[in-house]
A = this chain, B = another copy of it.
Amino acid sequence: MSLPPLNALPADDAHLREVCAQSREAYRGHFLQVRQDDVLLPDGNTANREYIVHPGAVMVVPLLDDGRLVMERQYRYPMHRAYLEFPAGKLEAGEPGIVCGVRELFEETGFRAAEWACAGELHNAIAYSSERIEVWFARGLVAGERQLDAGEFLDVFAATEAELADWIADGRVTDAKTMVGLLWLQQWRAGRWALTWKPADAWAHD
């Protein structure tokens, strides 16, 4: 069987598109907002789509001068265990990603970074959440005193790239954003994917 390449498919996604007929808020909790929309399918039938509306988040891959990575161990209640992960946090309303990244890195780890690079973005639960996570790299790290939010408890530690890779291979690291952080780090260090570095202020004024 010969399967077509992507560029042999229609460039337009009209034949896949689902069009909103009606949208309502189905649930609003302390943090989670669920919407239920009636949609028109490509074949003219209707269906219901239920999804989380999320403000977005930022992950930071912080690189120490000796090449090691700054990571966190944090308890994640939905799975009732602690996870090894890169620092991350939710965007506040209207907040640029770089501002969130600088804030979360400092609050959670105490580090400030001389230079930042925006690698890209990921969508982590496309079936049912609008969440988008910006992926930032930070280097030129200077340590300070972290300022955890009330009710926030986490360990900060340093890991080599090889350790992180081993922990993913053996299942000790299963956080998807952190795995994507390793992918980007490997590609960048191999010279395959580029990063553009600037001070945080220069990003904020972009």
Contacts and interface: CB of A to CB of B under 8 A. Distances in A.
Interface string A8-50: 1100010111100000001101111010110101110101111
A73 interface: yes
A153 to B, nearest CB: 5
B151 A47 contact: yes
Nearest to A179: B180
Interface in A43-60: 43, 45, 47-53, 57
B64 A78 contact: no
A67 to B, nearest CB: 13
Given A64-B3, A180-B179, A126 B79 contact: yes
Interface of A is mostly: mixed
A4 B159 CA distance: 9
Given A6-B159, A45-B151, A122-B176, A50 B73 contact: no
Given A3-B158, A123-B79, A155-B16, A48 B30 contact: yes
Contacts of A127: 57, 76, 78, 90
A147 interface: no
Nearest to A194: B169
Nearest to A12: B82
Interface string A140-175: 000100000011011111110001010011010011
A84 interface: yes
A123 B6 contact: no
Given A17-B82, A30-B36, 4 more contacts: A6-B71, A45-B150, A176-B177, A183-B183
13 contacts: A1-B143, A4-B157, A6-B84, A13-B82, A18-B75, A18-B77, A45-B150, A45-B151, A79-B126, A168-B183, A176-B177, A179-B183, A183-B186
